[in-house]
With several copies, the nearest count.
Chain A
């Protein structure tokens, strides 16, 4: 499209439409417009309101004084062109055409003199819509003119090797969860009648673990190594009970070479291993 076909709007605030982002306005009607260009111009209206607004603006008229008769005539000419070009949007334009025709006919009818003109001006609703549409067109222009990300400004990023420092997080468990899990496990056991749980002091079980653990590194322990004086009488009792329990469960052996000699605690595994060699 050359400048001979279209010119840039000079004083009119609203162009006919946008073609390839450029505001475009129609030449006087007697100027020949190639059909291709005409189609482009007509397509560039974003709708009947856009066209209507253009026609009003072209006549440098205020929306409020909507000159319904000439505007309807001009509007119909454009819609006819669109129909000739078989533009898909024609349907929406026809709705507007019907509305204009209706307003026009109501304005031509004689009005009873008593009626309040402001209240019943058949153009009022259309004027309101045109005003709102004009405001929104302004909003659209604002949006188009505002700095846009990816067009005018770009998000700034720096590189980092911090990702390598992300630690593998281990699941967290609370004591309360542990206790609940234990009671749930026991609830399971309750459902299975054949299970039998012995009554015993927890601290004894812990001491059993500790003694077995010690026996992993030292093959034999002196009984005196197991008793920690700083734990006091209670501690000694727990350790003693633990040893008895371990013996009972056949996990350790207690040996004494001579009367009154050092008593040793040996891992049954060790005994087993020794006896097989």
Chain B
């Protein structure tokens, strides 16, 4: 397959696919043509540079590559629709931030930090949007569910992975339990690593 034709095909695919396409999905798609990963990567990089200054750009988000409009054009474009995009409440944003930055985390942890019970509506909204999911249980009495963010969360915020989240201060360590906290953090990283597959 000619590189030029491959480029056109990938471009077209990304514009018609219902959801972002990962490198693996593209590789599978072009398996009959024996397209190598190297070729794919090269073409994707070329496309990203082609669209650098255009009204739409090729972005790598959580679940893969997709074309999306420039953020600066949001105001002009949203005029197309009567409805205003939803604004999320401070409570929802704090809950989401806790799950995003401190995952995996239980509802109890969230309530402790926010000092307020987490409304079921907020958890429901976050799950319905597909931004959070249960990734396991903490092995303590009651086995509370552990929440983590999803690829859809990354997609929504145009992030490729969680490391792209703007930094916030590390959680302060509990004076006497410093060692334990470090331990927990280690486990968390391991857990989230397995969740991103």
Q: So, do A and B actually touch in the complex, CB under 8 Å?
A: yes
Number of A-B contacts (CB under 8 A): 356
- B104 (CB) vs chain A CBs: closest residue: A209
**A216 CA to B148 CA in the complex, in Å?**
13
Cβ contacts A133-171/B at 8 Å (1 or 0 each)? 111111111111011111111111111111111110111
Rounded to whole Å, the gap between the CB of B89 and the closest CB of chain A is: 8
In chain A, positions 242-277 with a C-beta closer than 8 Å to chain B are 249-251, 267-269, 272
Cβ contact within 8 Å between A47 and B114:
yes
**A18 CA to B90 CA in the complex, in Å?**
7
Main secondary structure of the interface of A (DSSP, over half): helix
Flag whether A124 is at the interface (Cβ < 8 A).
Answer: yes
A-chain residues with CB within 8 Å of residue B157 when the two chains form the complex = 143, 146-149, 173, 175, 178
Rounded to whole Å, the gap between the CB of B127 and the closest CB of chain A is: 13
**A199 CA to B196 CA in the complex, in Å?**
10
Cβ contacts B147-164/A at 8 Å (1 or 0 each)? 011000001111101110
A-chain residues with CB within 8 Å of residue B162 when the two chains form the complex = 202-203, 205-206
- A159 (CB) vs chain B CBs: closest residue: B68
Cβ contact within 8 Å between A153 and B158:
yes
A206 and B15 contact, Cβ closer than 8 Å, known pairs A249-B138, A251-B139: no
- B77 (CB) vs chain A CBs: closest residue: A162
Rounded to whole Å, the gap between the CB of A202 and the closest CB of chain B is: 5
Cβ contact within 8 Å between A17 and B90:
yes
User: Hey, which bits of chain A sit against chain B, CB under 8 A?
Assistant: 17-18, 21, 44, 46-50, 52, 89, 92, 95-96, 118-119, 124-125, 127-129, 131-144, 146-167, 169-173, 175-192, 195-203, 205-206, 208-210, 212-213, 215-216, 249-251, 267-269, 272
13 A-B pairs, CB-CB below 8 angstroms? Answer: A46-B114, A149-B158, A155-B67, A156-B68, A171-B85, A173-B156, A175-B157, A182-B97, A182-B101, A188-B115, A192-B115, A205-B102, A205-B162
